[in-house]
Amino acid sequence: MNAELLLMFTLGCDRAYLYAHPERELTTEEQSRYAAALTERGRGVPAQYITGHQEFWGMDLIVSPAVLIPRPETEHVIETVLAILTSDLRPQTLGNAALAGVRGPRSEVRIADVGTGSGCIALALAKELPNAEIHATDISTAALEIARANAARHQMEDRIQFHQTDLLAGLNIDFDFIVSNPPYVGESEEDQVQLEVRKFEPRKAVFAGPTGLEVIARLIPAARAALIPGGWLVMEISGTIAEAVRGLLAGWDEVQVVPDLQGIPRVARARKKSNR
Ligand SMILES: C[S@@+](CC[C@H](N)C(=O)[O-])C[C@H]1O[C@@H](n2cnc3c(N)ncnc32)[C@H](O)[C@@H]1O
Please give the full DSSP string across 70-105, using - where no structure is assigned: P-GGGHHHHHHHHHHHTSTTS-TT--THHHHT---T
Residue 274, pLDDT score: 87
Pocket test for ligand 1, best of 56, 118, 181 (most atoms within 8 A of CB): 181
Q: What is the CA(182)–ligand 1 centre distance, in A?
A: 5
27-79 pLDDT, tens digit each: 999 999 999 999 999 999 999 999 999 999 999 999 999 999 999 999 999 99
Whether ligand 1 lies within 6 angstroms of the CB of 75 is answered as no
Whether ligand 1 lies within 6 angstroms of the CB of 249 is answered as no
Is 104's pLDDT higher than 70? no
Predicted structure pTM score: 0.93
183-241 pLDDT, tens digit each: 999 999 999 999 999 999 999 999 999 999 999 999 999 999 999 999 999 999 999 99
What is the greatest pairwise CA distance in the chain? Answer: 72
Pocket test for ligand 1, best of 53, 68, 241 (most atoms within 8 A of CB): 68
Residue 105, pLDDT score: 44
Q: What is the CA(12)–ligand 1 centre distance, in A?
A: 31
Residue 98, pLDDT score: 55
